[in-house]
Amino acid sequence: MTEQEVSEEKTGQEAERSPLYEMTRRVLLAGMGAVALAQEEAEGFIKRLVERGELAEKEGKKLVRELLEKRKREAQKAEDELDKRIRELLSRMNVPTKADIESLSAKVTELAKKIDELKKS
């Protein structure tokens, strides 16, 4: 494959990846915004309950802490699921992994050394 063909293929892959990347980015940002808004609303609601005396301050702090912990667990779960789906998508698209590229790079380096040795002899 010539250098121009490689460049054209790379540009084609970047063009295909760009809309997917942008769509995923928008969905994630919207999700993060919704989660942040929901958390702010919940914290505000708990604060109002504490101010009105319907909930003890200690209980309010405990609820907020539980909310934050749950949000953290859910965020990790969502991140793990997203990672899994991206790996599956890249696999279906036959995109090599970083490990694949590193392995091939090591083999190329080894072959280059052998070629140099053969040239010297």
- Would you state the pLDDT for residue 18? 64
Q: Could you state, in order of their start, the residue ranges of all structural domains in the chain?
A: 3-96
Check if the beta carbon of residue 50 is closer than 8 Å to that of residue 18: no
Check if the beta carbon of residue 79 is closer than 8 Å to that of residue 35: no
Q: 9 in helix, strand or coil?
A: helix
- Would you state the pLDDT for residue 8? 47
Give me the residues of the chain with pLDDT under 70, please.
Answer: 1-18, 20
Question: Is the pTM for the entire model greater than 0.85?
Answer: no
